Structure 1
Amino acid sequence: MVFPADPPPPFRETAEHDGWPVELFAHTRETFESFVDREVALRRSPLLHMCAKGTLLFAHSGLGEWACSTARERFAAGPPPLSQVELEDARYRVTDLLDDPAGATDPDDLLFIADRLLTTTAELVLSVRGRWLGHGKWLLRRLRDADPGLCSELLASYRRLVVSNDSAPFRRTVSAVIDTVGGRLLVGYRRPPV
């Protein structure tokens, strides 16, 4: 994170230093707040996490200290709670995917379906529990931190599906998860077009 004295932030730039890739995220106070607000609304804020958990290397204007302090407070507060509509939407997304593995005849289809179902289920669990979301390894780390037992069960059943094309344990695990948040939601679900 960089707060340059002479804008034109915001910008992102990837450079190299001593053979290592270095990502620069340049902001003003206003653009930092705007980016964080947008990310927080999505319950996934890499920028907030970076500033809350990272190390301030040097600061001249006080903005670095302010960004770190603000980020620590907002990150500790957690993401906004799910609204009832958002919970229904999440339940619908999981339900919509849940029966697809049983009907998949192409093992490659099964891999893509299962990948999406794993991600969607993890996001549902974290959102309902008021935890931050993530992508890739960060989604795994956050799920593992929130519920190590469930994470292990999801991963074990997912691996079994990937290795042996046996989707039954994975579907049972996901079904148990959706049952804890109100059950499946398909028939009767209605939303206006986006």
Structure 2
Amino acid sequence: MVAEGITILAHPLIPILKEEADKLLGDGPSPWSKETLEMKRYFLTDALDDFVGAADRGEGLFSANLLAESVHEFVLRTNRRWTGQGKWVLRALKEYDHKFAERFLFAFDQFYSKDDKRAIVQLVDSVLDPHGGRLFNGFSMGKQ
């Protein structure tokens, strides 16, 4: 808001704040720690497993919703990009990589319109593969 807002009251501090906001937006979020990356890989793998094993349409719909949010966050954050919500999910993905955004949209549309899970599974695997693939075995939280 600060970076893109319109100044309605002149104040000498406003240009400094806008410049700092522009820099923060441009720099993107801090990179994930190794621990956070592993945790997100695990949660994405778990969500994919739930989706693939969903026994009925309702479970599949809600599992797909979780995957859409999780994949969007994983892709953008591992590339130090800001995430979005609602319509901003697709906008943020398009800004990052238009072709990936098209694949993302196609995959979820295939499931929502045709009950076909394959494109989502392929999409999630393509997102996880550069980071070591699916993660279940050997993952634990809080244990040394």
Report whether the alignment pairs 1:125 with 2:75. yes
**1:165-193 residue CA offsets vs partner (Å, 9 max, x unmatched):** 11112111111111122211111111129
TM-score by length of 1: 0.69
Identify the match of residue 140 of structure 1 among 78, 82, 90: 90
Match of 1:96?
46
8 A contact 1:56–1:65 mirrored in 2: no
Tell me by how many angstroms 1:111 deviates.
Answer: 0.9
Tell me by how many angstroms 1:117 deviates.
Answer: 0.4
Match of 1:52?
3
Identify the match of residue 170 of structure 1 among 120, 128, 135: 120
User: Residue type of the partner of 1:51?
Assistant: V
Match of 2:108?
158
Distance (whole Å) between structure 1 residues aligned to residue 60 and residue 76 of structure 2: 24
Distance (whole Å) between structure 2 residues aligned to residue 115 and residue 64 of structure 1: 40
**1:25-80 residue CA offsets vs partner (Å, 9 max, x unmatched):** xxxxxxxxxxxxxxxxxxxxxxxxx1112222222x43333321221122112210
Please tell me whether Structure 1 or Structure 2 has the larger radius of gyration of its CA atoms.
Answer: 1
Higher relative contact order (CA 8 A, sep 6+): 2
Higher strand share: 1
8 A contact 1:81–1:127 mirrored in 2: yes
SS of the equivalent of 1:54 reads coil
Distance (whole Å) between structure 2 residues aligned to residue 115 and residue 166 of structure 1: 14
- Count how many residue pairs are aligned between Structure 1 and Structure 2: 143
Q: Structure 2, unaligned stretches of length 5 or more?
A: none
TM-score by length of 2: 0.91
Report whether the alignment pairs 1:74 with 2:24. yes
Distance (whole Å) between structure 2 residues aligned to residue 138 and residue 63 of structure 1: 30
Match of 2:59?
109
8 A contact 1:154–1:174 mirrored in 2: no
Distance (whole Å) between structure 1 residues aligned to residue 111 and residue 7 of structure 2: 43
Q: Structure 1, unaligned stretches of length 5 or more?
A: 1-49
Aligned sequence identity (%): 34
Tell me by how many angstroms 1:120 deviates.
Answer: 0.4
Higher helix share: 2
User: Residue type of the partner of 2:3?
Assistant: A
Distance (whole Å) between structure 1 residues aligned to residue 131 and residue 4 of structure 2: 31
Tell me by how many angstroms 1:130 deviates.
Answer: 0.9
State the 4+ residue runs in structure 1 displaced beyond 6 angstroms.
none
User: Residue type of the partner of 1:139?
Assistant: V
